[in-house]
Amino acid sequence: MRVITGTARGRKLVAPEGMDVRPTGDKVKEAVFSAIQFDIEGSYVLDLFAGSGQMGIEALSRGAEKAVFVDSSKKSVNCVSENIKNTGFVKNSVIVTRDSYDYIRYTSEMFDIIILDPPYRHGHIAKILPLCAEKLNEGGSIVCEYEKDAPEPVAPDNMILRKVYSYGKINVAIFIKPSEEESE
């Protein structure tokens, strides 16, 4: 696992061992970032269910201003911390050891990009997507990675499904919150 492009291109990343974390493959990661490439520069990113933190780190490498990494697992948080140090993004990163639901419910922060890659087979996307929509700035995007046989997520109020991409056993849905000018 590595950073694909940007200032940290080629840097290797570590992932927690075990079945709880399944890092996003390079092909899917490249497709996701190609789809949101014009939204990244200077953005404030939230990587919920961060795992290794690779998605938030990829955003930082491509020009995001700041990223918040949230995971309840100490193993995952330790990997995120190591990866942030190895890629040089310590000053641009905040790591939160907390349940993703608790974090998104109680944070006062607003984000430009929210990345959701929760554990499969638990219906997390459907439950947490509306909460995330409340913490998204106008013009922002939510990227949802989920298993292909799961129900397609439904766009929360005031959001639009931009596109669903399929990659083998994985689907990625990208939702946008149009700015007032875009929705008129």
- What CATH code is carried by the domain that includes residue 92? 3.40.50.150
The reported pLDDT for the residue numbered 77 is 95
Contacts of residue 19, defined as CB under 8 A and 6 or more positions apart, other chains included, come to none
pLDDT average, residue stretch 18-22? 55
The reported pLDDT for the residue numbered 179 is 79
In this structure, is residue 21 part of a structural domain? no
The reported pLDDT for the residue numbered 22 is 60
The reported pLDDT for the residue numbered 19 is 45
In this structure, is residue 4 part of a structural domain? no
pLDDT average, residue stretch 104-128? 90
State the amino acid at position 168 in one-letter form: G
SS3 53: coil
Average pLDDT score over the chain: 89
8-state DSSP, 157: T
Comparison of pLDDT for 93 and 32, the residue scoring more: 93
In this structure, is residue 62 part of a structural domain? yes
In this structure, is residue 7 part of a structural domain? no
In this structure, is residue 55 part of a structural domain? yes
Task: Say what the pTM is.
Answer: 0.92
In this structure, is residue 109 part of a structural domain? yes
Question: Does residue 160 carry a pLDDT above 60?
Answer: yes
Please check whether residue 117 is in contact with residue 90, taking contact to mean a CB–CB distance below 8 angstroms. Answer: no
* Tally of domains within the chain: 1
Range of the domain at 91: 26-118+133-183
Distance (Å, whole) CA 168 – CA 127: 24
The reported pLDDT for the residue numbered 23 is 66
In this structure, is residue 152 part of a structural domain? yes
For the chain, what percent of residues have pLDDT higher than 90?
Answer: 60
In this structure, is residue 20 part of a structural domain? no
The reported pLDDT for the residue numbered 184 is 46
Question: Does residue 100 carry a pLDDT above 50?
Answer: yes
The reported pLDDT for the residue numbered 181 is 62
The reported pLDDT for the residue numbered 65 is 97
**Count of other CB atoms within 10 angstroms of residue 159:** 20
Please check whether residue 45 is in contact with residue 56, taking contact to mean a CB–CB distance below 8 angstroms. Answer: yes
Question: What tens digit of pLDDT does each residue of 31-62 get?
Answer: 888 888 889 999 999 999 999 999 999 999 99
Centroid of chain to Cα 35: 13
